[in-house]
Amino acid sequence: MDLALTSLPGLLAQWLGSGGGITVLALTTVAPDLLLVPFSALATILLYLDVRVRTNGLDLDRMLDVAGAPQ
């Protein structure tokens, strides 16, 4: 998959030469990271919070608070 994503920009950079080719390579290297890193960070945060809630029983405390039961 990585080869498929990098071969087209590489060919385009060779066709454009040294002036525009460097810009194309820089943009096609940075753009996927700009799109994927925030989603990866969000998934990591959500997994951390899920594990924390499950290990500390915070979900049960919240359900008791909503139901109005004494603790």
Both tokens of 7, joined, read 């071969």
What is residue 69's predicted lDDT score, i.e. its pLDDT? 65
**Rounded to an integer, what distance in angstroms lies between the CA atom of residue 3 and that of residue 9?**
10
Q: How does pLDDT run along the chain (71 residues), one tens digit per residue? A: 556 666 777 777 777 777 777 777 777 777 777 888 899 999 999 999 999 888 887 777 778 888 876 66
Q: What is the pLDDT of residue 52?
A: 87
The pLDDT of residue 45: 97
Q: What is the token pair recorded at 18?
A: 């040294």
Handedness of CA 63, 50, 53, 57 (dihedral sign): positive
